[in-house]
């Protein structure tokens, strides 16, 4: 599945999040258009998204969609969210090496420990159901 961007890909993002089961993997990269690191990271994340069609990947510009952060602050880029169903399993900055994300995803299971965040229901907001 391609790397989806709220705004131009809102319809495809909604469809992807609404289709399938409630235990779908969702990986979001919170970024900023002015961030050179994000610009370099994006094609690698897009290639990973293309290689994992069973997961939903989103590229979220924090300046275009601050509502998807709620009270959370993003201080370092890229900041990643990994969610399985409604359970947040990772949220935080990550070095911009795609191998780090690949290892993280390989280490997580649906029953991995949840992490606490101040994020709103990001997938609900993207689905239009929150």
Neighbour-count burial for 19-46, b at 16+ CB within 10 Å, e otherwise: eeeeebbbbbbbbbeebeebeebbeebe
Q: What is the pLDDT of residues 2-46, one digit of tens each?
A: 999 999 999 999 999 988 667 889 999 999 999 999 999 999 999
Domains and CATH numbers, the chain: 3-127 (3.40.30.10)
Cα–chain-centroid distance for residue 51? 15
Q: What is the pLDDT of residues 92-117, one digit of tens each?
A: 999 999 999 999 999 999 999 999 99
Which pLDDT band holds residue 49 (cuts at 50, 70, 90)? very high
Neighbours of 13 (CB within 10 A): 24
Which pLDDT band holds residue 129 (cuts at 50, 70, 90)? confident
- CA–CA dist 130, 123 (Å, integer): 8
């Amino acid at each position: 599945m391609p790397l989806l961007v709220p705004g131009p890909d809102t319809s495809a993002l909604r469809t992807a999040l609404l289709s399938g089961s409630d235990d779908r993997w969702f990986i979001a990269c919170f970024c900023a258009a002015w961030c050179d690191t994000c610009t370099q990271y994006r094609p690698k994340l897009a290639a990973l998204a293309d290689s994992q069609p069973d997961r939903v990947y989103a590229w979220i510009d924090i300046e275009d969609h601050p509502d998807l952060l709620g009270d959370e602050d993003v201080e370092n880029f890229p900041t990643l969210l990994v969610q399985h169903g409604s359970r947040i399993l990772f949220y935080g900055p990550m070095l911009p090496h795609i191998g780090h994300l690949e290892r993280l995803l390989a280490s997580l299971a649906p029953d991995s420990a949840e992490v606490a965040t101040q994020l709103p229901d990001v997938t609900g907001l993207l689905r239009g159901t929150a």
